[in-house]
Structure 1
Amino acid sequence: MSGDRNFHINSIVKFDTEFVDEENNFNTGDGIFVAPVSGVYLFSWAIQTHYSQNEETELQVDNIVIIGKQLMSMGSGASYFGTTRNVLCTVSKGNHVWIQTSNIYGDNYFNDLRGIRSSFMGPFIQEL
């Protein structure tokens, strides 16, 4: 994700920079990945934020929260902080997959600190 961003509750996190997507299955405009084949994927997202900020994100597959949630609640004494969440997930061909903020925090702040950025990936592991 390029630049600093604020996301409100239940917002799709729009990762707007793409490095590898050989089949063009990820849309940087809306932040949604469309599964090209049914199978097991390893979805991973890393969030970078800083002091006095809170954020909670979750993995969504066609509007269903999957087992993956991530929470960061930063006190005023903390500086910069990043976390990563990994989820193995079975996805059907054509399912839409994205990272979304939860309904807890109204101001989820994502920080870009000298190129240390929030990111999202979903490598294909095994076909079903």
Structure 2
Amino acid sequence: MVSVLLFVILLNISVSLQSSYDDNLSDILSRLEKLEKQNREKDAAISTLLEKTKYCPTSYLGRDNETNQRIKKAFSNPISAGLLPAFHTRLSRDLTNVGTGQPIVFDLETLDTTNSYEPNSGIFTVPMNGIYVFYWNLLTNQASGMDTTLMSTHGPLGFGFVSHAENWENGGNLIVAKLTTGTHVWVKKADKYGDFLHERFSTFSGYLIQETD
């Protein structure tokens, strides 16, 4: 009788342990299934992001230097960043022997938000259709008055004049013009008179005031 009772007790204990084991195992399997589902969802999300950024310019970084420079220039373009085109330049040194019809190359940029001004040629390339303001100021010595023209791809936009003086003299002009994308704008010496420009006070600048169609 005692042995039967002991058997029954042990059987109940075994059943209880098995039931508890089954419950724990079921709970573990359920958690594993949830983790696997979460991992699948994360993998899918990562795949989607990779597909969306497949053609992002940053994926090309590490190629040749020329490509990298173009990418960096594109990223610095404020047209895509919501800024407006604007530039300001001056001479880095006194300019002498300026030839008739020669572009005055303001070679020191202090501002160029859209990388549209070329300091090696003195040419500003209009980056977007709009109404622009341009201003140039020239400082000459007592022997060098100078006529200048603000030129564009389509012809003159305006004229400036620095008269002869006993000492230093400055002059230029401010022009407002409606221009289209790709138009080149620069300042040139208009005639044979004058062959000296002072570096710090000879400047050329421009900016967009209104975008147009």
What is the TM-score of this pair, normalised by structure 2? 0.54
Deviations 1:67-104 (A, max 9, x none): x11112314xx1111123100011100100000111x2
Larger strand proportion, structure 1 or 2?
1
Deviations 1:91-121 (A, max 9, x none): 100100000111x225432113xxx320001
How much does 1:64 deviate? Answer: 0.7
Larger radius of gyration, structure 1 or 2? Answer: 2
**Equivalence for 1:109:** 196
**Equivalence for 1:56:** 147
**Equivalence for 1:43:** 134
Aligned residues: 121
Cα distance in 2, alignment partners of residues 46 and 8 from structure 1: 18
**Equivalence for 2:31:** none
**Equivalence for 1:4:** 94
Cα distance in 2, alignment partners of residues 110 and 20 from structure 1: 21
How much does 1:63 deviate? Answer: 5.2
How much does 1:46 deviate? Answer: 0.6
What stretches of structure 2 of length at least 5 have no aligned partner?
1-90
Larger helix proportion, structure 1 or 2?
2
Query: What are the equivalent positions in structure 2 for 1:12-27 lying under 5 Å apart?
Result: 12-27=103-118
**Equivalence for 1:87:** 175
Are residue 32 (structure 1) and residue 123 (structure 2) matched? yes
Cα distance in 2, alignment partners of residues 14 and 106 from structure 1: 18
Contact 1:46 1:119 in 2 (8 A): yes
Contact 1:56 1:108 in 2 (8 A): no
> Identity of paired residues, percent?
25
What is the TM-score of this pair, normalised by structure 1? 0.88
